[in-house]
């Protein structure tokens, strides 16, 4: 699988001591990123900004330790910013709406698929 970009995942978790949500940051260096801003002639604006991401296991070490979840935030590129809420991000960001771990078949074909809006 040809990888075209990198991304940063912000995973939300609840801290029972502070009773607040906290965001953990995970850089992922090799991903195939498709989609983004624009208009679709066939489907209107509804799907124009959808993002489709394939993350190959064979090009990313310890991928199984990254806690991808519906509702998490993804950003194209490696971002150094730590956040306390989604509005803290000053770059275009998306929320994960689809997470499918395709971890069957030969190792060089295994990947994680993410859909985001």
pTM: 0.87
pLDDT at 97: 96
Q: What is the pLDDT of residue 35?
A: 85
The confidence score (pLDDT) of residue 107 equals 85
Contacts of 105 (CB under 8 A, 6+ apart): none
Contacts of 93 (CB under 8 A, 6+ apart): 10, 73, 74, 75, 86
DSSP category for residue 43:
T
β-pairing, 73-76 vs 5-15, is antiparallel
In tens, the pLDDT along 28-81 reads 999 999 987 665 566 555 556 799 999 999 999 999 999 999 999 999 999 999
End-to-end CA distance of the chain: 23
Residue 117 and residue 104: Cα distance in Å, rounded? 26
Mean per-residue pLDDT for 73-99?
A: 95
Instruction: Give the model's pLDDT for residue 15.
Output: 94
């Amino acid at each position: 699988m040809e990888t075209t970009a990198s991304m940063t995942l912000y995973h939300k978790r609840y801290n029972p001591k502070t009773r607040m949500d906290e965001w953990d940051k995970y850089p992922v260096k090799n991903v195939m990123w498709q989609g983004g801003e624009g208009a679709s002639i066939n489907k209107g604006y509804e799907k124009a900004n959808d993002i489709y991401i394939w993350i190959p296991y064979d090009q990313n070490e310890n991928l199984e330790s990254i806690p991808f979840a519906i509702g998490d935030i993804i950003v194209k590129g490696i971002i150094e910013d730590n956040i306390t809420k989604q509005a803290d991000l000053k770059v275009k960001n998306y929320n994960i709406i689809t997470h499918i771990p395709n971890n069957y078949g030969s190792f060089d074909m295994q990947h994680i698929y993410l859909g985001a809006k």
